[in-house]
Amino acid sequence: MKFTEAQLEAAIIQLLGEVGYPHVIGAAINRQPDEVLIKEDLRAYLSSRYAADNITSGEIESVIRKLTAYSSVDLYESNKAIMKLVADGFLLKREDRN
């Protein structure tokens, strides 16, 4: 059986939902239309994920600045570099080095 694009999207949405990833229509997300990064969600994730490491709001903002500092002039190269950071991680200068 062949999938249409709509059927494939519905199947993927269902599979992601079954493992706990909610589906939200893009227009319902609180962000500017030209913003790709959902900063509010990233802040919440980093705060929760690194709470045991005592991540500060300043450090979270530093991560967001790093991810949003890339130029949109060469979108392909910028996206590639950002995905490398997301996949491989990067060093974060801590406010309190202890």
Q: Quote the pLDDT of residue 12.
A: 94
Which range of residues forms the domain containing residue 47?
30-88
The answer to the question of residue 65 being in a domain is yes
The answer to the question of residue 19 being in a domain is no
The token duo for 65 is 């600045």
Which H or E run contains 11? Answer: helix 5-18
Specify whether the CB–CB gap between 64 and 42 falls below 8 A. Answer: yes
The answer to the question of residue 10 being in a domain is no
How far is residue 88 CA from its own chain's centroid? 14
pLDDT tens digits for 14-70?
999 999 999 998 888 888 877 888 899 999 999 999 999 999 999 999 999 999 888
pTM for the structure as a whole: 0.71
Q: How many domains does the chain have?
A: 1
The answer to the question of residue 12 being in a domain is no
The answer to the question of residue 93 being in a domain is no
Q: Quote the pLDDT of residue 49.
A: 96
The answer to the question of residue 9 being in a domain is no
Residue 73 per-residue DSSP state: T
